Amino acid sequence: MKSFFYTIFFIVISLHSYSQEVSPSSQYEIDYKNYKLRAVAELGYLGVFSHKIQFGENTTYFDYKSDGGQNVLFPISRLSLELDFNERNTLVFLYQPLEINTEVVLNESIMIDDILFLEGTNLNLQYGFPFYRLSYLRHLDIRNEKWDFAWGASLQFRNATIRFESADGNLRQVNRDFGLVPILKFRTAYHQNKNMSIEFEADGMYAPISYLNGSDNEVVGAILDASIRQKLKITEAFDTFLNVRYLGGGAVGTSDDTDDVSDGYTKNWLHFYNVTMGFSYSF
């Protein structure tokens, strides 16, 4: 919960600084010209550079790409709402659905926690890692018509379900996890002309998670969500874009939240890429 309060404190201080710039007589008057709501949607495919996972210290470090059927492309989508206010402030709410389901026949035996899946087992795999992200950005006052820079912070809500199950249903191991992750955010845009721009955006963090959540066990986590897009303005309200994204991260360490079938140790690192087409509409 430390991470949650740190991020809320950051947003409150930023908004308080903005409120000090507004005269007391106008604080309770809403000027809708200073607000712009924007809906953004992307649709495309996801590919896997590398993805490996391990549950339990003396168990298999499972390779999803070579042994788990993640050597093909998967559909991906991404939805967000962005609110611009007072020209230099932006709030973003993002929803990223992310679930990969595959079916394989094991070419060697694997151990997941205390469950042994033998060679030749028909295995159903689910890697569900959808997340929600709330971000605040403050745009720098650089007085340059070509460039726009913004920095801020995000709070990400992860909601993971990771499942290994034999096709006959006799063997099953499911790992579920929900948590909050504080992240730093950066966004920049280069306006080539009045209708075209190139944008770069990154959300990233590398930190000992045990320090953030107050645990005595050392758990190191990381995330990097970085993209570059070519945007084309169609009308004053409607934009379209081509986007290339890297999504990577993971964690390694032992959690305090254990049960009778797990020693709490997890190692999970993924490196994905997305290619999407998208659009944004300003209300």
Classify residue 112: in a domain, yes or no: yes
**Both tokens assigned to 227:** 């993209």
Q: Is residue 268 within 8 Å of residue 277, measured between CB atoms?
A: no
pLDDT of 30: 46
What is the Cα–Cα distance from 123 to 164, expressed in whole angstroms?
A: 7
Full residue range of the structural domain in which residue 151 is found: 2-15+37-282
pLDDT of 280: 96
- Taking the chain, what is the end-to-end CA distance rounded to the nearest angstrom? 35
DSSP 3-state of 129: coil
Classify residue 218: in a domain, yes or no: yes
CATH number (domain holding residue 244): 2.40.128.100
Classify residue 10: in a domain, yes or no: yes
**Both tokens assigned to 23:** 């005269």
pLDDT of 209: 59
Torsion on CA atoms 56, 263, 219, 96, rounded to nearest 10: 70
pLDDT along the chain (283 residues), means of 10: 46 47 42 82 97 94 96 97 93 96 96 94 96 95 87 93 95 90 94 95 83 59 95 95 96 72 84 97 93
How many domains would you assign to the chain? 1
Classify residue 188: in a domain, yes or no: yes
